[in-house]
Amino acid sequence: MTARGDFIERFGGVFEHSPVIAERAYDGGLIFVPLTAKGVHAAMVQVFRNAGRDERLTILRSHPDLAGKLAIAGELTEGSRKEQAGAGLDRLSPAEHARFTALNTAYTEKFGFPFIIAVKGLTKDDILAAFEARVGNDAEAEFETATAQVERIALLRLLALLPEA
Contacts of 31 (CB under 8 A, 6+ apart): 7, 25, 39, 40, 43
Q: State the angle between helix axes of 94-111 and 139-159 in degrees (0 to 180), rounded to the nearest 10.
A: 120
Q: What is the DSSP string of 119-139?
A: -TT--HHHHHHHHHHHTTS-H
Q: How far apart are CA 55 and CA 31, in angstroms?
A: 22
d(CA 16, CA 98): 25
Active-site residue, 17 included: no
Q: What is the dihedral of CA 63, 65, 70, 72, to 10 degrees?
A: 150
Residue 48 to residue 155: CA distance in whole angstroms: 13
Q: Phi then psi for 99, rounded to 5 degrees?
A: -65, -45
Check 17, 41, 63, 97 and give the catalytic one. Answer: 63
Residues designated catalytic: 63
